[in-house]
Structure 1
């Protein structure tokens, strides 16, 4: 024991030997207020610290005096100070930058550069903006950035998008956290911030609208979001927050929610540091209660007050009603044919079928509320171990993070994502010149299920008796003198009154059916969403600038990615085991500065290869130029290319989505069995009728109208984009203007086809199958040959007014064009407002330690196209606000705010919930 104590004493003594203590306070030079979160670093090393809420810092370093420290903070001019004595107490003041041009970004060129030098349009928020956010979460607050759209699908799952073609399942937009792609491996899109960042650990957020494939590979197509977390060497101590508040919605009423989080970072010395964060959110999700049936793209979504129980026809199929998809028409019948069958079997008197119209009738179905408790829940955790072998900038990081929770997702159908888990594990080695990292992402769908199939399979229970009772009720009403509409209404009431054929939500029978269906992965009888897919990624980058005397910035890098699809045959055609496939990419970038660094030339190129496709080259070239010597006026222009591979679903899906069976078009998928049929993908893609021609044949009976088609297998989609921009300052006004034009090639799209089950489209056997109903509808994945382009731009103005007020104004234009005649069945799904205005006004310290911020957003109406429905989303104006008060003595900030203060509820898309108001109070503590 004495020997152990002696070793420990020697070790501790060796660490403490020769240490120099530095303490101090950092304040704003104009307001004299303390600045929390300022970085202090010993020049020439990676040793550092950051200020607390009081603006205070302290650290012990092994350097002997004299040495220098560098003080940096986003939005302020950096300082370098020489330390000449031990235990020196420092009073440091920082001067705020007159312009945002000096803010440093990394994502645009994979190397640190000021915003003025960035070759592309870029949006950034740092710690200052995070603290002043008016939204309940920083992620929701990203929609206040110019050019950024946020499509709200639930309380915890919202989708970021830029430059159009938006969906909730946004496979065109990439989201990275510390370099890791946070997309679901199976779905190929990000589930909001479910496995993102605890905002206590967030250092900065950068968003690049538009293509970025030249540096970041496939799918960095319409934009890319970078989130960087705090390093425990630089940001130590304990921080936490508690938020609570109310959600207010006409459909759901008032619901409480709360959000708590904690972060701990500690550096044991200049070699070892650890970090751990955890957060928990729980609340009631927004209800989706739109019962409308959208029959065409010109239909506008209704106001919440107008969403009342109604039926547009006896076969009404409401968008948020499930089970009404089951109809006589789907069974090859109508009400008159059902009556004639009854006459033939003697179940009803002969001759009464003359009283019955040939109407299609659907089951009544259930509101979405019957299939979910709207529990919104999210748990995020993150832990990392950091090791610097030599105490310098070489760093080894072991990191694990994960997200677990429940939310609602709207894709082909609406899904209750329940107890969903996604995890990421990473090892990374890096310094200022290179990084090498490897990570894996795994997911488990937990108890998730498809709500449409839940309703459909409950509706199958007692369906035969229900339709018989409906016919009986119709006949009784008609014989009693009721007209057709009255007879249908009375028939539905009569059929629905039998709880043995129409189980009521909450009843023992309903619960028994529900529990069995949501635990069954066979969609003919169940609705369970099974997914245990994994993704493995390795990537690296090396910058040779230090070997070239910093005359050139030359980078090379590459990545490899492998998918292992595992849905047990419920999503993909992986009936016989996981499907594995991979892709890789390599790239190079060169940057040269001329004319006293005022002119910056940049070029990059990337080569990517997926095992199913030929290799693809993605070049990018840009020029930035500072017009004046002070670099206050900066021009930029760039040519960029991008591409995206077909997603895992585009390639290997095999899913019966009720409306049609979705079948992926990977060459390796063509000979796999498809669900609920005896067909394979090869038959579907090579021997089918177009849906539009089948509809024309059914309307006219003319076989000459039938069109036999072979659907081309899906290929990678490509984009060419041209960007122009200006950044500059005029006194205290910062101006950022950008414009773009993009042209798309091989736009990935879907085609609906009808396939004869036994016959062929080339002879009478195919027509015979159509007449007898021996056909199956499929959704295939292919490329549109339409000429598609998009264009737009944005103008942003930011100014400091009356010394303390920050004013921001922005306008964004987004449009697209394509030749509909070249592909009549194609729906582009641009799904983006053409015009958007955003205004912000705030101050960090309008009076003493009191701050506030206000955000107002307006967007005009837009057409939303999706497999669920097409409809026009009305224009809307949404206002958010917050006030906050900083209490230095207890290192705390208190905030009170609200989102959608006007209370006018709105939808992002047909079928999605109407978003109400959300109010919150929070207490943030930072040691």
Structure 2
């Protein structure tokens, strides 16, 4: 750890016992340099060094070296396919790019969870956690939380054959998204309608009233922006949470230090999940078969991960189509217009007329909680078309194989006299293939055979690396050089180097310097998605998916500015709509973005790690990094103008007046959200510092601080590529397993600064927040029994870790663990 050439953070067994977090996965939030956001009580997202989002495809999670991502998402669903608290041994986190060695799109970092080997940890252990959350929650009452885990390991043949099994059953009530701040407060500013009088209001945690669900209605000679009424998130989802996990492993030792293992993992999930939209995961299933051979010379792994989204559904599409299922937008707009006209003719003020019009247009609207509402919700949940329903029906597989050979170790074991002892040589290769069963809504095969809905979509990547290392001057200097090459479908071969140096004047003082680069190839969703969501078609950025769209579209940001100017000139300038369109058509900006390329990062890191004081009980770790991104992958929303006959209007065969007229009307444009690459120069830099001090009497104190800064030279593009990272964050901790006899405690305090959050749902500032977590423990040796009474967010101060997500309060629990420690 002291001589690692890059920053490495580790949670060992002692740290995990001291943490007041309810699970090892929750404890990662207190690790130096790590940011965790919480879309759900059962789903947390790990990130490091910026550009965080709810589906972090730039950070990789491994369990015993096996990637535990959900294939079609390209990122893990929290710890859904990971180990239980009873089986976790250590957590190791590498903040920053690790692509040169791992090649798994790990350009922001990776976490490797190491589980307990059944040869070393034998026996039966049981753990029960019981808790409560949602105290003083305005949206609901107090709810119970329960997690039951069991682990059993047995050596069948001494030092030859062993197995283990784990199972976990978790139930609870999820955190509720209840932020009703209007994110379209100026939608009718030109008519003086604000606040509750704004007919285009769009509360954050409400669906069916987003920008794509609004219409421009001409009422009384003025243009008003009017949204459908929409439904609150808690009306269209079930917040009951359930996770069932099980895994088993069979280990066989071929020789000393050489072990063959087969592992099977299964998880069934019911909770709220978030990516570009919020989803209710229902009967969502993941399973993984893994085979590994580990020895000091050779490491080989092969695994298959299977994903089935079950009966999951999109909450935004559910809200939109609940509204449209009883009355189409066209009919609703007609009813609204007629009612507004009648109300104003009867002498009602404009704002009151809008309220009257909405009440009339909403007549017959399905009301939450009624049998009719519940029946319609169940119907839409099973319609796999987001223009009419809300179902998420995806089946996908990930097949992966990798091998690594420690050439230097092989020569040393053969006692080869010609091989220098100061030299290390390592080589490895890997192959990965994604397979998706096209569902006709979310994924379509761009190169189908006879049937585009039955021919599976495949996406593959192959790579390899060689690494040389040298130990010089009595091991005071360690140098490594790594070269990696990767070939991905639809892209040419890419090369990544890594150079590192560690200088250790003494064993206690270690200075490190590294330079490395990394490529991130588009995920399945970024490359191949093809789904309508809120009357906007979200399309993968590969040419095979979006051919012709980039060349003929206009940036939505410019279209919004154009239409706002047109509306202002009509409402306050006295122009006709035709005159206003002609006047403002110069505001329209042609989409200059194009088809996806791999994302590329160059990273430089400096660090110092030392074990101080005479007894080495004070550990200091400092790092600084600077990252430069090229072709940063993000999304742009762009609309294509179409004629009355449905043909695309291009600048080569029509004039700008016709294009502007089409883009001023909702019915004469095709709307797209496209994955593409930023043209801006994107840089970020930062650093972190950590102190861990072991005091007399077994007390362990810690303090960490993390700084992250975005330095982005923008060119006014319309990309959504939020940094989503607080500039400052710090952690303080204090704990002792035996503060008094068998009583122990652990305290963690975390604070992070306000930051700007830019997501697919909403943009804005996340207020600064702090958390105090605490636990008291009592341990018995005979029988082996441990009690832990703990709380996260002890003071129950509700906060949002990102905009569009849930409000997070306190969780209070008692954990009782019996058996092996």
Change (3 A) 1:924 1:857: same
Pick the aligned partner of 1:459 from 313, 323, 328. Answer: 323
Contact 1:178 1:229 in 2 (8 A): yes
Contact 1:134 1:853 in 2 (8 A): yes
The residue aligned with 2:435 is 564
The residue aligned with 1:409 is 273
The residue aligned with 2:542 is 666
Correspondence 1:419-438 to 2 at 5 A = 419-438=283-302
Shift of 1:489: 2.7
The residue aligned with 1:774 is 668
CA displacement 1:486-534 (0-9 Å, x = unmatched):
23234434544x3xx2111122221221111100101121110011011
The residue aligned with 1:536 is 399
**2 CA distance for matches of 1:218 and 1:502?**
48
**2 CA distance for matches of 1:712 and 1:291?**
36
Matched, 1:523 2:395: no
Give the match's secondary structure for 1:150: strand
**1 CA distance for matches of 2:765 and 2:663?**
34
**2 CA distance for matches of 1:427 and 1:856?**
40
Pick the aligned partner of 1:123 from 2, 5, 9. Answer: 9
Contact 1:326 1:459 in 2 (8 A): no
Contact 1:402 1:424 in 2 (8 A): yes
CA displacement 1:315-341 (0-9 Å, x = unmatched):
2122211233498844xx5152xxxxx
Matched, 1:719 2:590: no
Contact 2:184 2:201 in 1 (8 A): no
Matched, 1:554 2:448: no
Give the match's secondary structure for 1:651: helix
Contact 1:147 1:162 in 2 (8 A): yes
The residue aligned with 1:484 is 350
Shift of 1:706: 3.4
Matched, 1:285 2:179: no
Change (3 A) 1:294 1:696: closer
**2 CA distance for matches of 1:738 and 1:358?**
56
Pick the aligned partner of 2:635 from 738, 750, 773. Answer: 750
The residue aligned with 1:740 is 625
CA displacement 1:382-418 (0-9 Å, x = unmatched):
111111235x332221111121111212222111111
Contact 1:315 1:327 in 2 (8 A): no
CA displacement 1:60-85 (0-9 Å, x = unmatched):
xxxxxxxxxxxxxxxxxxxxxxxxxx
Matched, 1:256 2:136: no
Shift of 1:209: 0.4
**1 CA distance for matches of 2:331 and 2:164?**
62
Contact 1:328 1:335 in 2 (8 A): no
Gaps of 5+ in 1: 1-114, 298-308, 337-353, 670-680
**2 CA distance for matches of 1:613 and 1:655?**
23
Give the match's secondary structure for 2:367: coil
**2 CA distance for matches of 1:473 and 1:296?**
24
**1 CA distance for matches of 2:119 and 2:509?**
37
**2 CA distance for matches of 1:326 and 1:810?**
42
**2 CA distance for matches of 1:180 and 1:802?**
40
Correspondence 1:805-816 to 2 at 5 A = 805-816=699-710
**1 CA distance for matches of 2:560 and 2:260?**
62
**1 CA distance for matches of 2:411 and 2:257?**
20
**2 CA distance for matches of 1:327 and 1:202?**
45
Shift of 1:692: 3.5
The residue aligned with 1:625 is 503
Matched, 1:608 2:486: yes
Name whichever of 848-857 and 393-402 sits farther off. 393-402
**2 CA distance for matches of 1:634 and 1:435?**
29
Contact 1:232 1:265 in 2 (8 A): yes
The two structures, once aligned, show a CA RMSD in angstroms of 2.1
Give the match's secondary structure for 1:420: strand
**2 CA distance for matches of 1:583 and 1:561?**
5
**1 CA distance for matches of 2:211 and 2:32?**
44
CA displacement 1:235-293 (0-9 Å, x = unmatched):
11011100000012332321101001001111112211111101010000011111222
Contact 1:420 1:446 in 2 (8 A): yes
The residue aligned with 2:469 is 591
Give the match's secondary structure for 1:219: coil
Contact 1:218 1:642 in 2 (8 A): no
Contact 1:211 1:641 in 2 (8 A): yes
Change (3 A) 1:635 1:647: same
The residue aligned with 1:701 is 581
Pick the aligned partner of 2:515 from 634, 639, 664. Answer: 639
Change (3 A) 1:795 1:328: closer
Give the match's secondary structure for 1:780: strand
Contact 1:218 1:645 in 2 (8 A): no
CA displacement 1:133-166 (0-9 Å, x = unmatched):
1111111110111111110111001100100100
**1 CA distance for matches of 2:123 and 2:560?**
67
Shift of 1:381: 1.0
Contact 1:426 1:438 in 2 (8 A): yes
Change (3 A) 1:250 1:508: closer
Shift of 1:641: 1.1
Shift of 1:540: 0.6
**1 CA distance for matches of 2:625 and 2:16?**
28
The residue aligned with 1:65 is none
Matched, 1:801 2:695: yes
Change (3 A) 1:686 1:383: same
Change (3 A) 1:755 1:466: closer
Shift of 1:715: 0.4
**2 CA distance for matches of 1:607 and 1:296?**
50
Taking structure 1 as the reference length, the TM-score comes to 0.80
Contact 1:213 1:642 in 2 (8 A): yes
Change (3 A) 1:465 1:756: closer
Correspondence 1:107-186 to 2 at 5 A = 115-186=1-72
Correspondence 1:80-99 to 2 at 5 A = none
Shift of 1:552: 2.2
Shift of 1:627: 1.8
The residue aligned with 1:317 is 202
The residue aligned with 1:83 is none
Give the match's secondary structure for 2:738: strand
Contact 1:708 1:761 in 2 (8 A): no
Pick the aligned partner of 1:275 from 158, 164, 167. Answer: 164
**2 CA distance for matches of 1:185 and 1:284?**
27
**2 CA distance for matches of 1:659 and 1:126?**
49
**2 CA distance for matches of 1:478 and 1:250?**
37
Contact 1:654 1:661 in 2 (8 A): yes
CA displacement 1:699-737 (0-9 Å, x = unmatched):
352434433345321101111111111111321321111
Matched, 1:442 2:306: yes
Taking structure 2 as the reference length, the TM-score comes to 0.90
Gaps of 5+ in 2: 187-193, 413-420, 446-451, 566-579
Shift of 1:358: 3.4
Name whichever of 502-511 and 236-245 sits farther off. 502-511
Change (3 A) 1:502 1:796: same
Give the match's secondary structure for 1:389: strand
**2 CA distance for matches of 1:142 and 1:327?**
38
**1 CA distance for matches of 2:175 and 2:52?**
20
Pick the aligned partner of 2:754 from 861, 865, 871. Answer: 861
The residue aligned with 1:684 is 549
**2 CA distance for matches of 1:469 and 1:296?**
24
Give the match's secondary structure for 1:750: strand
Change (3 A) 1:596 1:287: same
**2 CA distance for matches of 1:827 and 1:529?**
24
**Alignment length, in residue pairs?**
764
Give the match's secondary structure for 2:119: coil
Matched, 1:418 2:282: yes
Shift of 1:573: 2.2
